[in-house]
Amino acid sequence: MKELNIHIDIRIFPYEELNAADRELIDAAREATFRSYSPYSHFSVGAAARLADGTIVCGSNQENAAYPSGLCAERTTLFYANSRYPDQAVKTLAIAARNEQGEFLEDPIPPCGACRQVMLETETRYNQTMRILLYGSKGIYEVKKVGDLLPLSFDASAMQ
């Protein structure tokens, strides 16, 4: 028998230690939570992507009474970025969430599996890693690339 160990480095920063560009992106993700349409879960998620040219695009979760018809903030953001700016790689994606009481979460929330897969495809599309910032009021997680969130991932190479 062999054993495979997967190691992931995640750095945790207080908001004040982030550089100005990362604070701006976190602030945009936090602001996007207020545009969430979440009448069923009352869980508001916002995401902001900084593109290679410095443009920031945002999205928020959009729910629907027919639950599978809704969409997460990460995917609304990436799909918008990829369709509106098809020649601009996503350099960094920031994600923030507020609970039913309207408070930002103390601990960062990770993206769901479907969002991780879309994030991986975005990296593949541009052949560049995408850095992820997960906001929590007690600290921001920095993940250097999507593969760190999705080890043993499925991509086009798996179909060969």
CATH number of 28's domain: 3.40.140.10
* Beta carbons within 8 Å of 74's beta carbon, 6+ residues apart: 45, 47, 59, 93, 95, 111, 115, 118, 119
Ordered alpha helix ranges (H), the chain: 20-32, 73-84, 113-126, 146-149
The reply to whether 105 falls in a domain is yes
The reply to whether 31 falls in a domain is yes
Q: What is the pTM of this model?
A: 0.94
The reply to whether 160 falls in a domain is no
The reply to whether 120 falls in a domain is yes
The reply to whether 122 falls in a domain is yes
Q: What is the pLDDT of residues 100-111, one digit of tens each?
A: 999 999 999 999
Containing structural domain, residue 26: 10-150
Number of structural domains (the chain) is 1
Q: What is the pLDDT of residues 4-60, one digit of tens each?
A: 999 999 999 999 999 999 999 999 999 999 999 999 999 999 999 999 999 999 999
The reply to whether 128 falls in a domain is yes
Task: Specify whether the CB–CB gap between 25 and 50 falls below 8 A.
Answer: yes
The reply to whether 33 falls in a domain is yes
The reply to whether 134 falls in a domain is yes
Active site residues: 74
Provide the residue type at 88 as one letter: Q
* Binding site as annotated, residues for Zn(2+): 72, 112, 115
Q: Are strands 131-134 and 140-143 parallel, antiparallel or unpaired?
A: antiparallel
**Angle CA 26–97–148, to nearest 5:** 70
**pLDDT at residue 155, as a whole number:** 77
Tell me 48's DSSP state.
E
